[in-house]
Chain A
């Protein structure tokens, strides 16, 4: 089962910042937070990941609380093409076994024109 909790859906106006929350209160010290998104009829796409520091790349920013029990994905200037299902996933970063991703139901983000 997924170790994260996300709201099922959110709306955001085009051009505004989209802030997607994720709760992962049982996260372990060696687990990272990963974000993927899935645009309709496509496979999931990696966005960003982090351990405890805030991270930023060309797609988004990831803010992780100090206690690591929750995080927020920020799309700074949302466009219509950002409409997708966003998945927050926790997983260890290294190990000797399998590393498949455990997806929940995610958040369906709808960008309104």
Chain B
């Protein structure tokens, strides 16, 4: 079974530029999550989708971050404009449904903002 795919794996941009991350969840997984992991900390949930609808985006900085999951499969997370404090690893995870015991994480995209 193929895992959660993310691209790119690494990205370096200057502050005030824009960037987009892509996630392809495990086939058939209805629930998709984006987490942000700052160096030395645990991952923090940014947004959760159930199919193509948003379940929770309470921790998403909506003035600069946006995410979509068109057709309920792939998802894109965008930052515009980026700030230095956005430097982090962005992790995508998926699960078969909400409240199942296991979330499957991708390898993440490491973003460096200079």
Contacts and interface: CB of A to CB of B under 8 A. Distances in A.
Given A2-B42, A94-B99, A97-B56, A43 B48 contact: no
A94 B100 CA distance: 8
Contacts of A45: 105
A105 B105 contact: no
Nearest to A100: B45
A34 B101 contact: yes
A29 interface: no
Interface size range on A against B: 20 to 34
Interface string B65-105: 00000000000000000000000000101000011011111
Which secondary structure dominates chain A's binding surface? loop
A44 B56 CA distance: 20
Nearest to A32: B101
B45 to A, nearest CB: 3
Given A101-B43, A105-B41, A105-B42, A46 B56 contact: no
Given A43-B93, A97-B55, 5 more contacts: A46-B104, A85-B42, A100-B33, A101-B103, A106-B42
Interface of A: 2, 32, 34, 41-46, 49, 85, 87, 92-95, 97-106
